[in-house]
Amino acid sequence: MKKLMLLMILLAFPVSALAGTTYTVSPKAVYYSYHEQVMDETGYLVGVNLDVAHVTPEKYFLGLEAEILKGQLRYDGGYSNGDSLRCDTNDILFQGTAAAGKEFAVASWRLTPYTGIKYRYWQNDIVATGGYLRRISQFYLPVGLNAQYDLTPDWKLTFKVEGSLLLFGEVRSDLSDVSSAYSDIKNNQKFSNAIGARVSTKLEKNLGTYSLGIAPYFEWYEAETSEKTETTVNNRRMWFIEPHNTTWMVGLACTVSF
């Protein structure tokens, strides 16, 4: 994950030298909900979003976006023997997107359809006896539309709608944290094994050299059951899967653009 963040920062340098570039820093708070058939994880994450957007004189759009969120979620589930388990988890969520599109003027609107590639990483550490570290890495193909409307010369309203299709992914579970009898496993997620969606709006005020805004959003993902992974536990062959799951997030960001 650190290497990917560094790569996105380095890619931003050539863009930063160009006119028509907007930089946005957005502190944000998110309510996060993850659900499987036998467990739930819910709670709040906080962090920051960094965005670099460039529009050429020909109205072509190029964008880089990265966000990192941290916090603790509440795990409500159980052990494989049927006993219940309620505990905290330590969580890190990173998302990075590189996108390109074309801006069109339609009446008083500026419409920008876009596509690109999106990376999503969730590190989920269950802090309890029998708990373990899980790391989910996924690459998505996003397709979206950004619509901007100038309310006045100083106020503008932006709507964004995006859908995502999984290209490939993997789930690494450090089951050796549970017992030395277990081996760490990796479950692969195939193309189209997951989908996502995001809707957001932003109200922004131009203050001259910079702009301030507020941006609520909703984000959702659903992943089907992964491929099976075979391992040995106490000399017995066993198969593990990453089960069907859904994730949704409701967030609020305060934006500073310049």
As a whole-number percent, the residues of the chain with pLDDT over 90 amount to 79
CATH of 21-257, picked from 3.40.50.1460, 3.30.420.40, 2.40.128.100, 3.30.1330.10, is 2.40.128.100
- Chain-centroid distance of CA 147 in Å reads 21
Burial class of residue 88, CB neighbours in 10 A (0-12, 13-18, 19+): middle
By DSSP bridging, strand 236-240 and strand 245-257 are: unpaired
pTM, to two decimals: 0.90
Residue 197: phi and psi, rounded to 5, are: -150, 150
Tens digits of residue pLDDT in 65-107: 999 999 999 999 988 777 899 999 999 999 999 999 999 999 8
pLDDT, tens digit, 9 for 90 and up, residues 146-181:
999 999 999 999 999 999 999 999 999 998 898 888
Q: Do 43 and 73 form a contact (C-beta atoms < 8 A)? A: yes
Q: Does residue 111 surpass a pLDDT of 80?
A: yes
CA distance linking residue 144 with residue 116, whole number of Å: 9
Q: H-helix or E-strand containing 18?
A: none
Dihedral angle sign, alpha carbons of residues 15, 16, 20, 23:
positive
Q: Give 51-69 pLDDT, tens digit per residue.
A: 999 999 999 999 999 999 9
- How far apart CA 162 and CA 144 sit, in angstroms, is 4
User: What does the pLDDT read at residue 12?
Assistant: 45
Q: How far is CA 1 from the centre of its chain?
A: 13
pLDDT in tens, 185-213: 999 999 999 999 999 999 999 999 999 99
Task: Convert 48-62 to b/e letters by CB count within 10 Å (16 or more is b).
Answer: ebbbbbbbeeeeebb
